[in-house]
Amino acid sequence: MKKYSIYFLTVLRILVGWHFLYEGITKLISAGWTSKFYLLGSKWIFADFFHMLASSPGILKVVDFLNIWGLILIGLSLFVGLFVRWSSLAGAILLFFYFIAYPPILGYTFGVVAEGNYQWVDKNLIELFLLVVFVTLPADYFFGADRWLKHWKEEKPNAPIPSSKPDGDFSDKRREFLRDLISVPFLGAFAYVIYKKKRWESLEKKFLIEKADAVSSATLKSFQLTSLADLKGTIPKGKIGEFELSRLVMGGNLIGGWSHARDLIYVDKLIKMYHNDEKVMMTLQLAEKCGINTIISNPAQCRIVSKYRQETGGKMQFISDCGVGNNFREGIEASIKGGAHALYSHGGKSDTRVYNNDLTFFDELQKGLELIRSYGKPAGIGAHRIETIRACVEHGLKPDFWVKTLHTHDYWSAQVDLANKDVPEPGWKDNNFCHKPQETIDFMATLEQPWIAFKTLAAGALRPEKGFKYAFDNGADFICVGMYDFQIVEDVNIALDVLANVNRTRPWRG
């Protein structure tokens, strides 16, 4: 091998060692670091094994210890070139576990922070095979402690000592020794980087937490996502016929970009930018882990739910509002094509047809219910106005379930606009979705079919503790709630608390 090749291999070994050592020391000095959530996030065929490691506090401590000190010791070994063959083997095994925990395979990479785009091959795999190459190379192929020890052992200490040594021989040995110490400058640079990192983190902490804003006198508020570790349990389920769904159903408006944000006109675009395919699939997966097995939305969202199910093996069910096309039938056909599991008439469209006294609507609605059932799916009717539900009952319609708004008016923006005539009903405004909550409660109590209540938080105007209790106490069998990913665990916990102390007079339907 040419001598400059040894220099390149040595620098390559040091760079890999730097990577391992820095990862290990960063974890060591990070207060409270644990591999628990990394292990819980694994999704591939070995996910159960990694979840088992995370579920046992005793095993988790061992895993964390091996992770931190494995990285540090492997990094140090590669850095100085001591026991390179063994540390390379250990590093390759460690990287193998990293790779199978989060393989860069389609459907298993969303939610994984990565600086590039990978498919089967990522930096873990590349570095793994690089370490395997290091295992096969002799010590002479790297400058470092292994090479120096090898040469030292090969010397004959019992040989006669000559009376004088050529100057060239001593100089050659000194140069060889200096080459084997090539990692020392890198080690100094590494120590400086760690010092700067620690110093910056201390300064950042002091600036952000201990310092008040001198201009506004505002103190820093922390924002922490509730994790699965805080989950109190999973949402119980009920049934609509043979269709089983969770008592808490995910609403699809936020995913689709329908925010009902009153006069904040930029919010729809903002949440569309937030909810890319990766974020939506992460949200659905988190919801499933919490026991939420159903989402209600427009047929336009069938695509992403189908993609989620195909790429991740998720089981999230889809209830479609059939709110596309020129009529109910077109909405049904589009929803069935998109793989909907249950279907109902769009609330806004139903309200408009009934309010305009369109008597053809009831015949169309009846045929739509029959068409849905012919596909073997539960068929429902949706509405915002209690007058719509009452009219359907008076015309003898008997759906498998109802989808009706319910919320209190106990929020500051619960107003009506009596002057605006270009709305489904005089007084309607995009801040009040259940005009007559008590009438809704009283009339829905007389119906035998299951009831999914939606807009239970008045599109974010009510806190979930209040909205959930109001809906369940007043007869809703299921509630549909739009949730961001960072709200899911908290909302599930609130729903569990409410359901454990529910106080209702209407029997559970479904």
Last residue of a domain, one of 152, 171, 203: 203
Total domains present in the chain? 2
Examine residue 376 and state whether it is found in any structural domain, yes or no.
yes
Q: Please tell me whether residues 189 and 323 are part of one structural domain.
A: no
Last residue of a domain, one of 177, 203, 229: 203
Per-residue confidence (pLDDT) for residue 168, from 0 to 100: 53
Examine residue 178 and state whether it is found in any structural domain, yes or no.
yes
- β-pair partners for 296: 251, 319
Last residue of a domain, one of 203, 219, 235: 203
Examine residue 505 and state whether it is found in any structural domain, yes or no.
no
Q: Please tell me whether residues 274 and 416 are part of one structural domain.
A: yes
The closest of 440, 444, 447, 420 to 431, measured between CA atoms, is: 420
289 with 228: CB under 8 angstroms? yes
In eight-state DSSP terms, residue 427 is B
Q: Please tell me whether residues 280 and 132 are part of one structural domain.
A: no
- Which two three-digit tokens encode residue 251? 């609403």
Helix (H, G, I), strand (E, B) or coil at 82: coil
Examine residue 249 and state whether it is found in any structural domain, yes or no.
yes
Examine residue 217 and state whether it is found in any structural domain, yes or no.
no
Q: Please tell me whether residues 168 and 31 are part of one structural domain.
A: yes
Instruction: Please tell me the distance from the alpha carbon of residue 479 to that of residue 99, in angstroms, as a whole number.
Output: 40
504 with 473: CB under 8 angstroms? yes
Per-residue confidence (pLDDT) for residue 102, from 0 to 100: 85
Helices 347-355 and 386-394 meet at what angle, rounded to 10?
Answer: 70
For the chain (510 residues), the mean pLDDT of every run of 10, in chain order, is 77 91 88 84 86 90 94 92 92 93 74 65 90 89 78 62 53 57 64 61 47 39 58 94 96 83 82 86 91 94 88 90 94 95 95 92 96 97 96 97 96 72 60 91 97 94 96 98 93 97 94
Residues 6+ apart with CB under 8 A from 348: 323, 384, 424
Task: Report the length, in residues, of the chain.
Answer: 510
Q: Please tell me whether residues 171 and 269 are part of one structural domain.
A: no
CB count, 10 Å around CB of 508? Answer: 13
The closest of 134, 140, 145 to 82, measured between CA atoms, is: 145
Is this model's pTM higher than 0.85 or not?
Answer: no
CA 362 to chain centre: 42
Per-residue confidence (pLDDT) for residue 253, from 0 to 100: 86
Q: Please tell me whether residues 27 and 82 are part of one structural domain.
A: yes
Q: Could you tell me the CATH number of the domain that includes residue 290?
A: 3.20.20.100
Q: Please tell me whether residues 405 and 257 are part of one structural domain.
A: yes
Q: Please tell me whether residues 253 and 118 are part of one structural domain.
A: no
- Which two three-digit tokens encode residue 355? 């309010």
Instruction: Please tell me the distance from the alpha carbon of residue 95 to that of residue 10, in angstroms, as a whole number.
Output: 20
Q: Please tell me whether residues 382 and 276 are part of one structural domain.
A: yes
Q: Please tell me whether residues 347 and 446 are part of one structural domain.
A: yes
Q: How crowded is the C-beta side of 380, counted as CA atoms within 13 Å?
A: 28
Per-residue confidence (pLDDT) for residue 204, from 0 to 100: 46
Q: Please tell me whether residues 195 and 299 are part of one structural domain.
A: no
* 238-259 confidence digits (pLDDT tens): 999 999 999 999 999 888 777 7
Domain carrying residue 117: 3-203
* 445-463 confidence digits (pLDDT tens): 999 999 999 999 998 899 9
Examine residue 77 and state whether it is found in any structural domain, yes or no.
yes
User: Could you write out the DSSP letters of every residue in 231-255?
Assistant: ------EEEETTEEEESEEEESHHH
Examine residue 220 and state whether it is found in any structural domain, yes or no.
no
